[in-house]
Amino acid sequence: MTERQAYVVDLPEDESYSGSAKGEPGKSFERIWDAPQGVRHLSSVSHRVVGKRFLVTGFVFFLIAGFLALLVRTQLIVPDNTFLDSETYNQVFTMHGTIMMFLFAIPMLEGFAVHLIPLMVGARDLVFPRLGAFGYYCYLFGGIIVLSSFLFDAAPAGGWFMYVPLSTSTYTQDLSADFWLIGITFAEIASVTAAVEIIAAILCTRAPGMSLAKMPILMWYLLVTAFMIAVGFPPLIIGSILLEAERLLGLPFFEVALGGDPLLWQHLFWLFGHPEVYIIFLPAAGMVATMLPTFVGKPLFGYGFAVAAVVSMGFLSFGLWAHHMFATGLPVMSLTLFSAASTMVAIPTGVQIFCFLATLAEGRPRMSVPMLFILGFLFIFVLGGLTGVMVAAVPFNLQAHDSYFVVAHLHYVLIGGFVFPMFGALYYWMPQFTGRMMSETLGRWVFWLMFIGFNLAFFMMHLTGLRGMPRRIASYPEGLGWDRLNMLSTLGSYILAAGVLLFVFDFFRHRRHGTQAPRNPWGAATLEWLYPPIPPGFNFHAIPEIRSREPLWDQPELMDRPAPEIDGALRPCTDHRRETMGNDPITGAPLQIVRLPHPTWVPLITAFGLALGFGATLASLYWLVAVGFAIALAGFTAWVWEPSDSGVLRDSGLGDLRLPVNVVDPRSHLHFAVVGTMMISAALFASLLFAGLYLWNTQPHWAETTPPAAPLEAGLALGVSIVVFLLGLASHRAAFTAKVTPVIVIDLGLALGSAALGALLFMSIRTVDPYGSAYAAVGWALFAFVAGYLAVAIYWSLVNALRKAVGAVKPGQMLPNLLIATYAKVVAIMGGMTAAAYLLAGGAA
C-alpha cells in the first residue's frame, strides 16, 4: 500500500467550508442521534434499529421454516401417510431448507453482527448505516418474494439445492424455480453488502487503542465470516444468474445437448454451499467464545489459538465443496483429495473446542441459561463433527449420502453449531434489546425441551439412514424397518418445537414482567455492557480508549462511574453531525473522524426499486422492470450525490489531537469497502471463468467446435484494458493533489477508456452465437459481466467529473478518485482477462 500524505485543510471550526453540509445545528448531541418516530421509523438507518429488524425478521422466518419442518415430520410419522400429497411435501421440504439456510441463519447472524459490532468495538453506529438498511430491505423484499410463491401456488419444489436439469424449464415449467432464483439472489444482496460492512466496520471504526489483538474474539470470527461470505456467495450468485438466464432467455449453460453440464451447477452450488455451513457456524462459535469467559469469570483460554483456528477454518472450509458430490462419479483421485481436505477441518475445529474446554477449566462456570445452551452446543456439535468426519470417508459416504444419516449429521451440525448458540446468545444479549432479563426457570425448561427433543428427533435418523431410507421422500412403505424410528423422530421434533414455543412465550412474558436488567448484568468483560441496558442510541457519549482485551474487567475507570461521564474521544460534537472514530486497521490508533448519515429514505426507495424490478421480471412485465430499475438507479445517484465531508481537521476530544474528517487515505473505511466489493466482484468473475474452464476441460468436443471470438478486437481490448489500468493509477495519484479541475481529464479518460474496452469486447464476441453451445454462452456471460462493471465505471467517473465541474468538490475532497482508482484497476484486469480468454479459447473457426 503506497501511502501518501492526505491533502487536508486545517480550518477553524466555524468556517463555512466545514464539511458539515448536512449537520443539524439546531439539535443537541442526543437529539441528533434520536431514532425517528412513527412511519418515519422506516427511514432509520441506525444499526440498533436495523440489527433488531434482521433479528426479528430472521426469527419469524425461523418459526415459519420450523412449522414447515413439523409438517414434514408429521407426514413421516407413519408409513404411507396421506397427510400431505407429494407435491405439497416437496414444496414444504424445499422451502424448509431454503428458508432456514438463506432467510434465517444468514440474516440472523447478520442481525447479531449489525447490532453488536459497533457496541463491541466502540463505535456509535455501523460504518455504512445506509448500506445496512438497504441490505435489510433487500432481504425483506427477497424473502417476501420467495414466500409469496405459496400464494401463487408456485412454491419451489426442486429442493433447496435446485439441481439442474430438474430446475430447468423443461422439468419445472411453472414459475416456482424463478421465484426461488430471483427471490434468493435478491436476498443475497443483503449478505454480500453485510460482508462489506462487517469488514469495514471491524477494521476501520474501532475505539482508540483497540488493536487487532485487543478486539473481542467475536470480531475475529465475524471478520473471517465476512471474508468467507465475500468469496463464498459469488459462485451461487453466478450459478443462479446463469440458471435464470437459461430459464428466461434459453441460453444453454446447463443444456446437455449443447455441451452444458449438470455437474457445473453442482460445483457452483457447493462452492457456495459448503463454506455456507461454516459461515453459519463461525459467528455462533464466536458468540460462544464471547459468552464463555463471562460465565467462567476468566478470559478466553488461548485467544491466539482461537484466532489461528478461525482463520485457518475460514480457508480450509473452501476445500471441501465436492464432498457433496462423492456419488456423482468423479475420478477416485479427486474424491480422495476432497476427502483428505475435508477431514483436515477437524484440526482447527479441535483446537477451538479444546480452547473452549480449557476456558471452562479455568474456573467454576455459573450455570445460567446461556451456559446451558453452550454446553448443549458442545455436546451436539461435537457429535455432528464426528459424523462429519464419517461422511468425509468416501466409501461410507456412498451409503450415507442422500440418506437420513446425512439429515441427522447436518442437523447436528447446524442446530448444534448454530441454533443452540443462537438461543444462548438471545438469552445473553436480550437485555440489550429489551432492557429486561428473560426467565431463568423457563429458560431451563426451554433448554431441556429443545435438547431432549432434538436428540430424540435426530439421533434416530442416523439409524434410519443406515437402514436405507433416502432423503426427500414424501412417503415410505411399511415394514422396511423405518416405521418406529420415524415415529420417535417425529415425537422428538414436537418436543423440540415445544421448547421453541416456550421461548416465544417467555419472550412476550418478559417484555412486560421480566426483571429490569442492571448495568452489566452477567459481569461480562466486553464493551457492549458499558452502559446500563438499553444503551443510548449513540452507544457512547465519548468513545473510551481501550488498553485491554477485557476492558470492563481490566480498566477500572470504565466501571467506577456512570457511563455517560466516561472520558474518551469525540465528546465535542462541533458540526452537529453523527460521527464516530476511524482507526488504523491494525494498531487501532486514531486515524480519522468518520461522518455517518442521518435518517434517510434512500435505502428503502432503492431497495423498493430493485424489488419492483425483480418482481416484475417474475410477472414478465418488462416495462415495470424498467421503471423499477430506474427508481433504483435514481436512488443510488441520490446516495452518492451528497456533499463531501472530507478535507478538514477537527478536534478529536483526545487531548490536543486533531483528526481529518473522512480522510483521503487507502486506510479509509470507504476504500476498504471498495476493496471488499472488488473482492466479491473478483470472486464473481472467477466463478464465471471457472465455468468456462470447467466446460473447456470436461467437454473438449464443444470447446473445439465453438467458433472463436474475433482476435483483432480482442487484442485491441487487451491493449485498452492496460490503458484503463494506468488511468486507475493516475486517478489514485490525483486523489492526493490540491487542484481539482485538472482531474476532470482523468475522470473523462476513465469513462472513455471503459467505453472503448466494452465496445471492443463486444466487437470481439459478436461473431459467436450464444445459443450455439454452453461454452459460447459462457463467453457471452463473461462479456455481459464485464460490461456491467464497465457501465458502472463510466457512470461513476462521469458523476465524479460532473461534481467537479459544478464545484461540488473542494480541495482535499477527492476521495472518490482514490476509490474509483481501485475499482478501475480491478475492472481493467477483469476486462483484460476476458480479452485474453477470447484470444485463447475457441476451436477452429
Considering only residues 161-220, where is the footprint of other proteins by CB under 8 A? 163, 165-166, 171, 211-214
| Binders in 723-742 for other proteins, by CB under 8 A | none
Q: Which of residues 97-156 bind other proteins (CB under 8 A)?
A: none
The DSSP letter of residue 535 is P
Q: Does 682 bind other proteins (CB under 8 A)?
A: no
- Residue 361 is a binding residue for other proteins (CB under 8 A): yes
CB of 358 to other proteins, least distance (A): 4
Q: Which of 307, 485, 581, 799 binds other proteins (CB under 8 A)?
A: 307
Nearer to other proteins, 399 or 574 (CB): 399
Cβ proximity to other proteins, 362 vs 651, nearer residue:
362
- Out of 56, 60, 340, 840, which residue is the one contacting other proteins (CB under 8 A)? 340
Residue 261 makes contact with other proteins by CB under 8 A: yes
Query: Does position 305 bind other proteins by CB under 8 A?
Result: yes
Among the listed ranges 300-308, 447-455, 593-601, 786-794, the one in contact with other proteins (CB under 8 A) is 300-308
Amino acid at 383: L
Residues 366-405 touching other proteins, rule: CB under 8 A, are 375, 378-379, 382-383, 386-387, 389-390, 392-399, 401-403
Examine residue 772 and tell whether it contacts other proteins (CB under 8 A): no
Q: Are 495 and 451 in contact (CB under 8 A)?
A: no
Residue 328 sits in the site that holds other proteins (CB under 8 A): yes
Q: Interaction with other proteins in 517-536: which residues (CB under 8 A)? A: none
Question: Of 359 and 731, which has the nearer Cβ to other proteins?
Answer: 359
Residue (of 378, 448, 443, 446) closest to 416 by Cα position = 378
Q: In the bound complex, what is the minimum distance in angstroms from residue 417's beta carbon to other proteins? A: 16
Cell numbers placing 326: 462423492
Contact yes or no for 243/625 (Cβ under 8 A)? no
Q: In angstroms, what is the minimal distance from the CB of 94 to other proteins?
A: 9
- SS percent in the chain: helix, strand, coil, step 5: 65, 5, 30
Contact by Cβ (8 Å): 61, 107:
yes
Residues 6+ apart with CB under 8 A from 473: none
Closest CA to 117 of 206, 244, 29: 206
Residue 312 or 737: the one with the smaller Cβ distance to other proteins is: 312
- Single residue of 25, 26, 477, 807 touching other proteins by CB under 8 A: 477
Point out which span in 308-316, 433-441, 526-534, 557-565 binds other proteins (CB under 8 A).
Answer: 308-316
Cell of 844: 477452429
**CB of 317 within 8 A of CB of 392?**
no
Q: Is residue 263 part of the contact set for other proteins (CB under 8 A)?
A: yes
Residues 6+ apart with CB under 8 A from 131: 193, 196, 197, 603
Q: 25, 329, 655, 807: which one contacts other proteins (CB under 8 A)?
A: 329
Work out which of 35, 77, 78, 337 binds other proteins, going by CB under 8 A: 337
Question: Which of 179, 174, 177, 175 is closest to 144 using CA atoms?
Answer: 179
Contacts of 137 (CB under 8 A, 6+ apart): 603, 604, 607, 608, 611
Cα 317 to Cα 342: distance, rounded to the nearest angstrom: 8
CB of 598 to other proteins, least distance (A): 34
First and final C-alpha spacing in the chain: 45
Residue of the chain from 15, 30, 87, 769 that contacts other proteins (CB under 8 A): 87
The residue range among 278-286, 428-436, 479-487, 498-506 that interacts with other proteins, by the rule CB under 8 A, is 479-487
Site residues for other proteins, 584-623, by CB under 8 A, read: 586-587
User: According to CB under 8 A, which one of 18, 185, 294, 349 is a site residue for other proteins?
Assistant: 349
User: Which of these ranges, 4-12, 470-478, 574-582, 646-654, lies near other proteins under the rule CB under 8 A?
Assistant: 470-478
262 binds other proteins (CB under 8 A): yes
Contact 577, 594 (CB under 8 A): no
Q: Which of 344, 487, 501, 621 binds other proteins (CB under 8 A)?
A: 344
Rounded to a whole number of angstroms, the minimum distance from the CB of residue 236 to other proteins is 18
Close Cβ partners of 276 (under 8 Å, ≥ 6 residues apart): 101, 106, 232
Is there binding between residue 547 and other proteins (CB under 8 A)?
A: no
Residue with cell 490508533: 589
Is the CB of 120 or the CB of 743 nearer to other proteins? 120
466 binding other proteins? (CB under 8 A)? yes
Rounded Cα–Cα distance for residues 98 and 104 (Å): 9
User: What DSSP character marks residue 522?
Assistant: T
Distance CA 453, CA 436 (A): 28
Is 476 a residue that touches other proteins (CB under 8 A)?
A: yes
Q: What is the rounded CA–CA span in Å between residue 108 and residue 116?
A: 12
Shortest Å distance, C-beta 241 to other proteins? 21
Q: Are strands 649-651 and 590-596 parallel, antiparallel or unpaired?
A: unpaired
Out of 478, 560, 565, 656, point to the residue binding other proteins (CB under 8 A).
478
Residue 664 CB contacts under 8 Å (≥ 6 apart), including other chains = 6, 7, 8, 646, 647, 735, 736, 812, 813, 814, 815, 818
CA-wise closest residue to 539 among 288, 54, 201, 133: 201
Q: Which stretch binds other proteins (CB under 8 A): 141-149, 190-198, 328-336, 606-614?
A: 328-336
Interaction between residue 301 and other proteins (CB under 8 A): yes
Is residue 551 at the binding interface for other proteins, with CB under 8 A as the rule? no
DSSP states of 350-369: HHHHHHHHHHHHTS-----H
Is 335 a binder of other proteins (CB under 8 A)? yes
3-state secondary structure 119-161: HHHCCCCCCCHHHHHHHHHHHHHHHHHHHHCCCCCCCCCCCCC
Q: Residues binding other proteins: what is the number (CB under 8 A)?
A: 111
Nearer to other proteins, 335 or 734 (CB): 335
Nearer to other proteins, 6 or 391 (CB): 391
Stretch that binds other proteins, among 245-253, 337-345, 563-571, 811-819 (CB under 8 A): 337-345
Separation of alpha carbons 401 and 283, rounded Å: 27
Establish if 365 lies at the interface with other proteins (CB under 8 A): yes
Residue 663's Cβ-count burial label (10 Å; 0-12, 13-18, 19+) is buried
Binding segment (CB under 8 A) for other proteins, from list 645-653, 655-663, 697-705, 753-761: 697-705
Q: How far is the CB of 367 from other proteins (least distance, A)?
A: 9
Q: Applying CB under 8 A, which part among 101-109, 333-341, 536-544, 675-683 lies near other proteins?
A: 333-341
Which residue of 16, 697, 806, 807 would you call a contact of other proteins, by CB under 8 A? 697
Helix (H) or strand (E) holding 583: strand 578-583
Residue type, 365: P
Q: Using CB under 8 A as the criterion, what x/- string covers residues 12-41 for binding other proteins?
A: ------------------------------
**For other proteins, which is the closer residue by CB, 44 or 699?**
699
For 635, phi then psi, to 5°, come to -60, -45
Among candidates 277, 270, 280, 278, which has minimal Cα distance to 327?
Answer: 270
Q: In angstroms, give the least distance from the CB of 379 to other proteins.
A: 7
448 binds other proteins (CB under 8 A): no
SS3 215: coil
The burial class, CB within 10 Å (0-12 / 13-18 / 19+), for 11 is middle
CB 343, min distance to other proteins, A: 4
